[in-house]
Amino acid sequence: MDASDSTPESGAGRIDTDSTYYELYQKSVELGTWDAEKLVEKVGFEEDREVWESLADDEKEQWARVISYFIDGEHAVAQDARRIMTTVSTPWFDRSIEKEMFASALALEEAKHTQFFDLYLSNVMIDKFPQYELDTRRGGVQIPRTDACGAGKMFDRQGTLQAQAAHGGDPVDIARAATNYHIGVEGILARGGYFAKNRMMQEAPLTLLNKGFQFISTDEGRHITFGLELLEELIEKERQGVPEYQGVQNAIWEQAVEDIGYITDTGYFITGDIGDPLGVDFDDLVNRGARLAGDMLFDTLDIDNAQPRDYMQAAADAMEEARDNDYGEVIEKYDHIYEQKKQAAGD
Amino acid sequence: MTKLTDIEGTDFTASDEEIEAAVEDAAADLGMAPERVSEEVAYILDSGSGRVNNEGVAGAAVGSNADTHDDPRLEALDVFKLRQEL
Amino acid sequence: MSAQQEEETYELEEYWPTTAWLEVYEADLTASEELSEKMSGWGQGFNGDFVFEINNLPIEENTVGDLPEEVWSALDTGIRQLPDGVLDTVLEDAPEEVQNGIEEREGPLAERAANELLETRIENAPDKVWEGLRRVMPEILNDLLDELEENVTDEGHVYAWIGLEDGDCTGTDTLMELDERDKGFVLTGEYEQWVRLVTGELDVVEGIMSGELELDGDMQKILQYSDAALLMTDVASETSKRFLF
């Protein structure tokens, strides 16, 4: 229960217990090993089912849009975790077991997040997800709602970037992948989602879902810190003038700008596009996202040559597309594709 | 490592004394040192970064947990207590 | 003080933040063809008016002597040059607090009087001047004290309202309360951050992302008209200005 209390006495062997990565790992052991099944058992589905059933269809739809991108996002990350483990063990980082130890904890946690959402969605929200059960690795696709918005594209991009980074990628590739995942997906898209769920919980208090989100966001906080530490290492080497690391900050900024387009689209998809029945408020969501991005990119990483107006422009471009987008039609299209895949898988 | 009562946030409604008392009660229930509980709860909120950045917990109390009076530190303490039971 | 320095005076409209400066900004916004083009359709079907909320001007901690030298130097010189007899007459009508303050100081009367006035905190200055003093005060200081009384809240905030519709600035105003006029957008920041913004040191987007500035309003519209919104702050930084603090 209180494992790290014994650290000073047990001393350090080959593991550097002073490393931030070790601390993150240790905190994962202490805080991240919650049991999703036990959580579900302890809190139970009943109260949430009751609230869910009392919701109007558009309110259910708003939750469904948020949860779709969470479950597909967690699923995508669980798949990519093995690539992150490979990437952090490459010689581009000062080789150390501590990063791999943390990455292994991250892999477990992402799998557990997928497990929690899988349990929740199947037991509470299933009426909104007739097309859900097909694993993307067994010939399936993302949930149609995820595919219809920027998040779906972002997760596809994440897979490509993580693969490039893990399989012979250089520091610039690694910086792109880490920015996309730790800053974009976890740092803004997911945290924007928590912001949204906090607002939605006021109107529709789904207790078990809230508890799950609290554990998940606690785990994600460590993942984000881990990602920022990795990026700081790469930036440090670039600033020292190590030739192979030149271009790292530029890649971080370019990726962040690309990702804010996907994120803005998703933000609109879960709020303005459906009339925001549970009162998230798109304006507040945008402001929160901007702050989260600013904290990470400017305060923590302090990247050089960033042009904040590029960031706003990318969000503006995404918003322009979003306004003209008929998401319902896109969801229907993906529904159709999903149905075909399901039949094919069943055959 | 950030101390729980050193964390800054705009929406803190409980006093430091209330936080310390709640931590001591929780520590007694869990059979842990209060300092250790305080440290873990702070870590839940900021992942060691010194800033409140856990959106999922920090704003979670809204409307759903009367016991924590919307203070994210108390909400995080609740998360920690529940985590110890899982 | 040399004669050359004494000639160095500026109009009220050159000082930021004042209502007179805001009118110059209005004229600059109106003159910008680029803004007319990029803001075409702005405010139609929604309220496009802005308030620039400039918080916590340092009127509590700063004294009259902390204002730009050209604002108070003529007062200082004038008082120090007045024969004691004349100065006595001027001070006769001074508020009791000012008279006591002068009394408690040491040194020649003119020096005591000048120091008392220059060391007055800006927030208290409008209450400490009297008709007789206003007659020997430079006009700019008079105007600035009026500005302070009429356009800065007791807490030291300035609410600058800027009417905007379809590429035109429809007017400007300063408010004593934020709710005094309807508006669609409020850009809020501390005085120091506003100084950085209107000197071009702080980019408005970076300011919002870093939390140094806050933008309240319809973000869909801001993103739709992002070029125009940015241009608005660019014009503010390009409009010439002298800072009061």
Structural domains for chain A: 41-346 (1.10.620.20)
Test B63 with A205 for CB contact under 8 angstroms: yes
The stretches of chain C forming alpha helices (DSSP H) are: 3-6, 19-31, 33-38, 69-81, 84-92, 96-104, 109-118, 125-128, 131-136, 139-151, 191-198, 204-210, 219-224, 226-238
Q: Please give the single-letter amino acid code of residue C238.
A: E
Chain A touched by C210 (CB under 8 Å): yes
Instruction: Give the number of other CB atoms < 10 A from CB of residue A126.
Output: 13
Chain A touched by C11 (CB under 8 Å): no
Average confidence score pLDDT of chain C:
92
Residue B50 has pLDDT above 50, yes or no: yes
Tell me which chain A residue has its CA closest to the CA of residue C206: A308
Which pLDDT value is given to residue A2? 47
Residue B63 has pLDDT above 50, yes or no: no
In contact, A162 and A263? CB cutoff 8 Å: no
Cβ-based interface (< 8 Å): residues of A facing C: 264, 268, 272, 282-283, 286-287, 290-291, 293-295, 297-299, 308-309, 311-313, 315-316, 319-320, 323
User: What residue ranges of chain A have pLDDT lower than 70?
Assistant: 1-12, 131, 134-140, 345-347
A27 contacts in chain B (CB < 8 Å): 43, 47-48
How far is Cα B58 from Cα B56, in angstroms, rounded to an integer? 6
A315 contacts in chain C (CB < 8 Å): 223, 226
Identify whether C17 is preceded by a cis peptide bond (ω within 30 of 0): yes
Answer whether C touches B (≥3 Cβ pairs < 8 Å). no
How far is Cα B60 from Cα B11, in angstroms, rounded to an integer? 12
CA A332 to each of CA A196, A289, A326, A329: distance values in angstroms, whole numbers, following the listed order? 25, 29, 10, 5
The maximal CA–CA distance of chain C, rounded, in angstroms, is 67
- Cα torsion C99, C103, C109, C115: sign: negative
Kindly provide the ipTM of the predicted complex, given to two decimals: 0.86
Kindly list the structural domains of chain C, giving each domain's residue range(s) and its CATH number in brackets, ordered by start.
11-57+153-243 (3.30.1050.10), 64-151 (no CATH)
How far is Cα A282 from Cα C222, in angstroms, rounded to an integer? 12
Subunits close to B (at least 3 CB pairs below 8 A): A
How far is Cα A133 from Cα A345, in angstroms, rounded to an integer? 11
Span C182-241, pLDDT tens digits = 999 999 999 999 999 999 999 999 999 999 999 999 999 999 999 999 999 999 999 999
Confidence of residue B47 (pLDDT cuts 50, 70, 90): confident
Between A and B, how many residue pairs show a Cβ–Cβ distance under 8 A?
A: 94
Instruction: Give the number of other CB atoms < 10 A from CB of residue A323.
Output: 13
In contact, C191 and C57? CB cutoff 8 Å: yes
Test A24 with B48 for CB contact under 8 angstroms: yes
- What's the burial of C227, exposed, middle or buried (CB within 10 Å: 0-12/13-18/19+)? middle
Residue B58 has pLDDT above 60, yes or no: yes
Residue C20 has pLDDT above 90, yes or no: yes
Which pLDDT value is given to residue A341? 76
Instruction: Return the closest-CA partner of residue C25 out of C237, C243, C244.
Output: C237
Q: How many residues does chain A have?
A: 347
Which pLDDT value is given to residue C183? 97
